[in-house]
Amino acid sequence: MTHQPLVKIYLYSKFERFWHWVQSALIILLLVTGFEVHGSFAWLGFMAAVDLHNTIGLTWLILFVFIVFWLFVTGEYKQYIPTTRKLLEVVRYYASGIFRGEPHPVRKSRVAKHNPMQRLTYLGLTAVLLPVQMATGLLYWSYNDWPAWGLDGFLSLKVLALVHLIGGFAILIFLIVHVYMTTTGHTVTAHIAAMFSGWEEVPEGEEVEDWERMSERR
Amino acid sequence: MDCLVCHEQTGTYRKFPSGAGYPAPYVEDPANPGTQKGVPFPGESKSYFAPDWSRVAQSVARPSRMNCGTCHFYGGGGDAVKHGDLDSTMGRPPKTLDVHMGTRESGGQDFTCVRCHTTHSHHIAGRIYETPAAAERKSLLQDDLGDKILCESCHGTEPHQSGGMSDKINDHTDTVSCQACHIPEFARAQSTKMWWDWSKAGQLMDGKEVVMGPDGKSVFDRKKGEFRWEKNVVPEYYWFDGTLDHVTVADPIDPTAEVWLNRPQGSADDPNSRIMPFKVHRAMAPYDKVNKVMVIPHLFPFNKDDDTAYWKGYDWNRAIEVGMEKAGQPYSGEYGFVETTYVFPTTHMVAPKNEALPCEACHSRQSRLAGITEVYMPGRDTFAMVDAAGWVGVTGAMVAVIIHGLMRFVSGLRRKEE
């Protein structure tokens, strides 16, 4: 680990922390109930699992509306604009540098919370994977209304279920890697603590490069 | 049919013999003048008595369960032979056996048969033959004379209370019959005949003409062959539009496969079809090997001297010959036995609601609806390749992060030593 002095910066606002932890609980419950509905295991019982899955799915949808609204109103969506700059360095860091105690190639800052790998991952998650799950989930939920909505001609529950299942696996895999990545800070629990307090400890004195900076509001 | 069998209420009106034909004639007992001697029938232990006509005639009323049951509980030659959901236990059933017909004391509604099978000028509602049920589905409230009756006739298409998961259950009524969930098993009070092997008839079993099984029902009868009885039977499920397709004695059959003597009509694409539970009775039955048709054997003797009847002469060839001739059908003279199925829609013995099937009965890998392949069912259906790839991916991610973590831990220790 680095022996550079650390400085605390306020990285995650109250809403972001609220959103993160509520969403994490919803996602875990959705995964559990979703895979039970899929028949992978039996725990709550089919009806309870379906009921909970539906309720949580709709709750998440409401939360998601607020998240998207917040992202655009605050301009924070720019944190997710993808880049390949330093992407290879980040990959190399996690593949080898981390074992040699090298410093992270991209420093977290208020204006650049995410390294290039995180930007790509979170953009894919927020802009593609989660909307796909929400869309397929909503359609799945409204199955019995398809004839009334004129959708029964070209929608197939089987195809919908397949896409929703693939999405579920993708989110589960993301969750595993994501939880592990939180342990890669300067201490094992540093990142998790930051997501509770909002304050992340970063090495002192490193400058944020211009390209990383999201254009600040004036 | 005569009037009394349906309307008399003394319970003393018996037909002779075997519950068919006319009541026994009055034969005075010479030893006790003024009383009956009774008419015995060979093969049955009890004697038949002429009814007390005036008492019987004065008792007529709206038919009770036992009036209908006189025939419908005993179809096929005995109690619970034909229907899995109609037998003598339905004469006075507890609520646990049938919520509608269950007695008041047991908490039931005490319905008689005619409560649902309403009549108008002796046209009885609720039979299943050739008319599609759903096309003529009518509410009893709107039209008490509808020929077809279904659960929906009284309960409507949204029978469960609304809100929450009850709405989801109501969503099922366009594809799943009420009976499918609410009659989890049939023959719940006594066993029903599920297998009848006519090819074993004519012989003796262990030197005996009749062999009784553990539940007091014959498992072998020289006249009829071998039987298998089952209690608490899980139905088989098929798409059903309310009609059954029947094989008649004139229809060609394929003896190399199971012959479906009747078959539920309907399909997943048909908005009027529902998934319906059936008792499927299987049998080995005689057929014409050359003409490839089912045959009608002459079983019951015309008179004392008629030994062409199978139950007298035990000669299939002669019995089939006479039976087919009587029916005006050709017979080649060569018979064999073929496995047949006969389906009975299961609609009585509606269980109390807390015994209705849970979702998992169908929405699980061990689904009761394994044969209903036309629809995707959550919990039952899976995508083997995607599931395999998905779990490999999940396991791979777990293994990768564990290895990565161990490597960080070990390399961290090494750096500390240096």
Query: Among B157, B158, B153, B151, which residue's Cα sits nearest to residue B182?
Result: B151
For residues B165 and B313, what is the distance between their CA atoms, to the nearest angstrom?
A: 62
Q: What is the pLDDT of residues A31-66, one digit of tens each?
A: 999 999 999 999 999 999 999 999 999 999 999 999
- DSSP letter for each residue of B303-355: STT-TTSHHHH--HHHHHHHHHHHTT----S-EEEEEEEEEEE--S-PPPGGG
Residue B137 — very low, low, confident or very high, per pLDDT cuts 50/70/90?
very low
Mutate to test the interface with B, among A50, A91, A164 (most CBs of B within 10 A): A50
Mean pLDDT of B137-153: 55
Identity of residue A114: H
Domain positions in chain B: 1-61, 192-361
Confidence of residue B140 (pLDDT cuts 50, 70, 90): very low
The 10s digit of each residue's pLDDT in B1-58 is 688 999 999 988 888 777 777 888 888 888 888 888 888 876 667 788 888 899 999 9
pLDDT at A215 over 70: no
pLDDT score recorded for residue A208: 59
Q: Which of A44, A46, A152, A182 to mutate to test the interface with B (most CBs of B within 10 A)?
A: A46
Residues of A in contact with B365 (CB under 8 A): 39
Per-residue confidence at A209, pLDDT binned at 50, 70, 90? low
Lowest mean pLDDT among B114-118, B227-231, B394-398: B114-118
- Does the pLDDT value for residue B141 go beyond 70? no
* Mean pLDDT confidence for B52-70: 93
Mean pLDDT over each residue of chain B, to the nearest integer:
90
Task: List, in order, residues 6 or more apart from B409 with CB less than 8 Å away.
Answer: none
Determine the 3-state secondary structure of A69 from DSSP: helix
Report CB contact under 8 Å: A45, B360: yes
Check residue B408 and give its pLDDT: 92
Per-residue pLDDT, B145: 43
> In A, which residues are within 8 Å of B398 by CB distance?
176
Chain A CB contacts of B387 under 8 Å are 40, 165
Phi-psi region of B61 (alpha: psi -120 to 50; beta: other; left: phi over 0): beta
Q: Which two tokens stand for residue B417?
A: 């030593």
Chain A interface includes B168 (CB < 8 A)? yes
pLDDT of residue A212: 58
Whether residue B119 lies within 8 A of chain A, CB to CB, comes out as: no
Pairing status of strand B259-260 against strand B335-345: parallel
Residue B109 contacts A, CB cutoff 8 Å:
no
Shortest distance, CA A80 to any CA of chain B (angstroms): 24
B337 pLDDT exceeds 80?
yes
- In this predicted structure, the answer to whether residue B160 has a pLDDT above a threshold of 90 is yes
- Contact residues, chain A, for B168 at CB < 8 Å: 50
The predicted model gives B120-139 an average pLDDT of: 56
| Site from B404, B410, B413 to mutate, A interface, most A CB atoms within 10 angstroms | B404
Contact A99 B358 (CB under 8 A): no
Is B378 in CB contact (< 8 Å) with chain A? yes
- Return the residue in B158, B380, B386 with the most chain A beta carbons within 10 A, the one to mutate for interface testing: B386
| CB nearest A101 (choices: B168, B380, B415) | B415
Tell me the CA distances in angstroms from A101 to A108, A118, A187, B8, B418, one per residue in order. Answer: 17, 20, 12, 99, 12
Q: Nearest chain A Cα to B361, which residue?
A: A46
* Closest chain A CA to residue B175: A144
| Tokens read off for B410 | 């070990």
Chain A CB contacts of B407 below 8 Å: 99
**pLDDT tens-digit readout, A138-190:** 999 999 999 999 998 889 999 999 999 999 999 999 999 999 999 988 888 88
B360 touches chain A (CB under 8 A): yes
Radius of gyration of chain A (CA): 20
CA–CA separation, B308 vs B254, rounded Å? 28
Q: What is the pLDDT of residues A68-118, one digit of tens each?
A: 999 999 988 888 888 888 889 899 999 988 998 888 888 887 777 888 889
The DSSP code sequence of B177-191 is -HHHHH-S-B--SS-
What are the residue ranges spanned by the domains of chain A? Answer: 6-207
What confidence tier does A214 reach under pLDDT thresholds 50, 70, 90? low
Question: Interface pTM (ipTM) of the complex?
Answer: 0.88
* Residue A168: predicted pLDDT: 97
CATH number of A6-207: 1.20.950.20
Let me know if B191 is exposed, middle or buried by CB neighbors in 10 A (0-12, 13-18, 19+).
Answer: buried
- Bridge partners of B16, per DSSP, are B22
Residues of A in contact with B364 (CB under 8 A): 39, 42, 46
By Cβ distance, the residue of B165, B365, B386 closest to A166 is B386
Share of residues in chain B with pLDDT > 90 (%): 70
B417's CB contacts (< 8 A; 6+ apart) are none
Average pLDDT over residues A17-22: 94
B350 within 8 A of B99, measured Cβ to Cβ: yes
Per-residue pLDDT, averaged over B186-211, amounts to 96
Verify whether the Cβ–Cβ distance B165 to A156 is below 8 Å: no
| A180·B405 Cβ contact <8 A | yes
Hey, is the C-beta of B370 within 8 angstroms of any chain A C-beta? Answer: no
Specify the pLDDT at position B12. 86
Token pair listed for B209: 């003409």
pLDDT at B144: 40
**What is the model's pLDDT at position A115?**
85
- B129 touches A: beta carbon within 8 Å: no
Among B166, B168, B171, which would you mutate to test the A interface (most chain A Cβ atoms within 10 Å of its Cβ)? B168
Cα distance between residue A173 and residue A27, in whole Å? 12
Please name the residue of chain A whose CA is at the shortest distance from the CA of residue B377: A158
Select the more confidently predicted residue: B96 or B215.
B96
CA distances from B367 to A63, B174, B372 (A): 36, 19, 10
Query: What pLDDT, on the 0 to 100 scale, is given for residue B138?
Result: 45
Nearest Cα to Cα of residue A26 among A54, A45, A68 = A54
For the stretch B346-396, pLDDT in tens is: 999 999 999 999 999 999 999 999 999 999 999 999 999 999 999 999 999
pLDDT at B1: 61
Average pLDDT of the segment spanning B187-209: 96
CB pairs under 8 A between A and B: 88
More confident residue, B133 or A125: A125
Which of B165, B383, B394 has the CB atom closest to A176's CB atom? B394
The average confidence (pLDDT) of chain A is 88
